[in-house]
């Protein structure tokens, strides 16, 4: 088996969903000829400038992320626009997680994703 590569991607000016698809495929290893859906053969991915990611249409004002604490009245909602100001890395991580398989490989694959708000020094 070949060594895993590290892909470095600049996220400035790119669309959130389209970049998330590209990153999910790199993490899974779908770009490799030896891809098997039941094995973790993906590479590491480093994304920088996550605070400069764009969204298409009116998503930034209309898309809402919900979180339920488990208690009565514990439903909280935050718009994408506000969530990006709070932590753009978490928004991108949620987008990639939604595109990964929902099985035991999901956790080790997402650990290979490194996110940075600004430039890498």
Whether the pLDDT of residue 1 is over 60: the answer is no
Among 66, 108, 111, 68, smallest CA distance to 93 is for 111
Contact 34, 1 (CB under 8 A): yes
Q: What are the structure tokens assigned to 22, written together? A: 């590209």
Report the chain's mean pLDDT, rounded to a whole number: 94
φ, ψ for residue 39, nearest 5 deg: -125, 150
**pLDDT at position 4, please?**
83
Structural domains of the chain ordered from first start: 6-55+87-115 (3.90.1180.10)
Among 100, 94, 106, 105, smallest CA distance to 67 is for 94
* Residues forming a β-bridge with 75: 68
Whether the pLDDT of residue 115 is over 60: the answer is yes
Whether the pLDDT of residue 119 is over 90: the answer is no
| pTM as predicted | 0.91
Q: What are the structure tokens assigned to 93, written together? A: 């991580």
pLDDT tens-digit map of 71-114: 999 999 999 999 999 999 999 999 999 999 999 999 999 999 99
pLDDT tens-digit map of 29-64: 999 999 999 999 999 999 999 999 999 999 999 999
């Amino acid at each position: 088996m070949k060594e895993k590569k590290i892909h470095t991607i600049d996220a400035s000016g790119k669309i959130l969903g389209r970049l998330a698809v590209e990153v999910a495929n790199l993490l899974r290893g779908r770009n490799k000829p030896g891809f098997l859906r039941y094995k973790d053969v993906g590479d590491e991915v480093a994304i920088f400038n996550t605070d400069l990611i764009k969204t298409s249409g009116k998503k930034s004002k209309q898309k809402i992320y919900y979180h339920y604490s488990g208690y009565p009245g514990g439903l909280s909602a935050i718009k994408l626009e506000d969530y990006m100001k709070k932590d753009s890395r978490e928004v991108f991580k949620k987008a990639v997680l939604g595109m990964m398989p929902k099985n035991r490989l999901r956790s080790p694959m997402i650990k290979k994703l490194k996110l940075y708000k600004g430039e890498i020094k």
